[in-house]
């Protein structure tokens, strides 16, 4: 069954709005950052990673965002363009903002943390008047991401993008991507996440992220179905709630629950799992695959990313994902 209808006549497959930043990944693994001495620079930011993922999977993509007027900003725009992503709506800040940074620390494959630089960052300075209505009108899907809601004027830019998407029949996916940094309070977070989610067709998040959105609600048992049903009263068709190692569940308006296969991986770090899962899953949905197949494709894509050093650089092509699944099915990949 098809849960989401895409406007097939639109020329652009996928456009995302939000954070563009730099990941600085420690080259020395399995030790605290105090003891690492070199870092490698990658493009980062959840919506950027997902867009890169969609581009690698063969989709026609575009990005709406703001970059600093410095070497880091130019590096980001160049990288996106090399992947064939339309950057015509990637605006350059002129106020002296900087590029957001995420230093990653990999103490062990399961103990990873991030040191964020989010003060005065360019991505949060995107203004509603800078969002290109035409671009959204021409896209089958718009992806929004929670971090872009954290501050004005980026917050208003996202609501304006949502308004354009509704006006032009563009499907909206919302990757919750909650980061405590830059939000003033849980209450503020909940208010804007809820206002945005009301307008979205597909919502993806962890159980903890949905909990945060329910601080004013009544869901004491943290029930997934209570959570999902709330959004079916608004615009949602698919709500995916991620439960870490126990896997993800997709809820649909018809009351069904959908689960994916999971695959083994030789994990280097957990960063980027969510972004590669999202791009793989949304790709499957756009291809008209079943939710189960789409979720499995997302899972395999995530396995590829967490087995490598970077997030954006490691985003796989469709062939690579299919091949990974085939190798898993042949028993060639096992966790040591």
Smallest distance, a second copy to C-beta of residue 81, A: 12
Residue 177, strand partner residues:
none
Smallest distance, a second copy to C-beta of residue 108, A: 15
Please identify, among the stretches 67-75, 140-148, 236-244, 268-276, the one whose residues bind a second copy according to the rule CB under 8 A: 67-75
Residue 115, strand partner residues:
103
Residue of the chain from 92, 194, 261, 270 that contacts a second copy (CB under 8 A): 194
Binding status of residue 58 toward a second copy by CB under 8 A: no
The angle that helices 273-287 and 46-56 make with each other, rounded to 10 degrees, is 50
Max intra-chain CA distance, the chain: 54
95 burial class (0-12, 13-18, 19+ CB within 10 angstroms)?
exposed
Regarding beta strands 86-92 and 202-206, do their DSSP bridges make them parallel or antiparallel, or are they unpaired? unpaired
Binding status of residue 27 toward a second copy by CB under 8 A: yes
Count of positions on this chain that bind a second copy (CB under 8 A): 45
Residue of the chain from 184, 220, 221, 246 that contacts a second copy (CB under 8 A): 184
Residue 282 tokens read as: 């949304």
Smallest distance, a second copy to C-beta of residue 249, A: 26
Please identify, among the stretches 48-56, 186-194, 221-229, 284-292, the one whose residues bind a second copy according to the rule CB under 8 A: 186-194
Pick the closest to residue 228 from 213, 216, 215 (CA basis). Answer: 213
Number of CB atoms found within 10 A of residue 257's CB: 13
Please identify, among the stretches 74-82, 260-268, 287-295, 315-323, the one whose residues bind a second copy according to the rule CB under 8 A: 74-82
Report the distance separating Cα 159 and Cα 211, nearest Å. 22
Helix (H, G, I), strand (E, B), or coil: what is residue 232?
helix
* CB closer to a second copy, 122 vs 282: 122
Smallest distance, a second copy to C-beta of residue 182, A: 11
Q: Which residue has the tokens 């992220």?
A: 209
Q: Given the rule CB under 8 A, which residues bind a second copy?
A: 24, 27, 32-34, 36-41, 70-72, 74-75, 78, 98, 101, 103, 105, 115, 117, 119-120, 127-129, 133, 152-153, 156, 159-160, 163, 184-185, 187-188, 190-192, 194-195, 216
């Amino acid at each position: 069954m098809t849960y989401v209808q895409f406007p097939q006549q639109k020329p652009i497959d996928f456009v995302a709005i939000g954070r563009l930043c730099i990941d600085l990944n420690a080259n020395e693994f399995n030790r605290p950052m105090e003891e690492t001495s070199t870092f490698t620079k990658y493009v980062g930011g959840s919506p950027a990673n997902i867009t890169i993922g969609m581009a690698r999977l063969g989709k026609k993509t575009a990005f709406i965002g703001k970059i600093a007027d410095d070497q880091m900003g130019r590096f980001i725009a160049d990288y996106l363009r090399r992947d064939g992503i339309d950057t015509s709506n990637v605006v350059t800040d002129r106020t002296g903002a900087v590029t957001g940074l995420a230093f990653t620390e990999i103490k062990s494959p399961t103990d990873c943390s991030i040191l964020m630089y989010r003060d005065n960052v360019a991505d949060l300075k995107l203004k509603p008047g800078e969002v290109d209505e035409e671009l959204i009108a021409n896209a089958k899907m718009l992806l929004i991401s929670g971090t872009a809601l954290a501050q004005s004027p980026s917050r208003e830019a996202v609501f304006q993008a949502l308004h354009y998407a509704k006006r032009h029949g563009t499907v909206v996916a919302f990757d919750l991507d909650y980061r405590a940094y830059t939000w003033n309070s849980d209450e503020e977070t909940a208010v804007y996440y809820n206002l945005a989610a009301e307008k979205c067709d597909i919502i993806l998040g962890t159980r903890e992220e949905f909990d945060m959105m329910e601080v004013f609600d009544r869901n004491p048992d943290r029930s997934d179905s209570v959570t999902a049903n709330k959004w079916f009263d608004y615009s949602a068709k698919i709500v995916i709630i991620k439960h870490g190692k126990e896997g993800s569940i997709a809820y649909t308006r018809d009351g069904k629950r959908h689960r994916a296969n999971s695959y083994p991986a030789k994990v280097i770090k957990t960063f980027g799992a969510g972004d590669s899962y999202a791009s793989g899953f949304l790709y499957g949905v756009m291809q008209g695959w079943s939710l189960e197949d789409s979720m499995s494709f997302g899972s395999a894509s995530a396995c590829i990313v967490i087995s490598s050093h970077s997030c954006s650089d490691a985003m796989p092509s469709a062939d690579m994902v299919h091949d990974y699944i085939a190798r898993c099915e042949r028993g060639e990949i096992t966790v040591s």
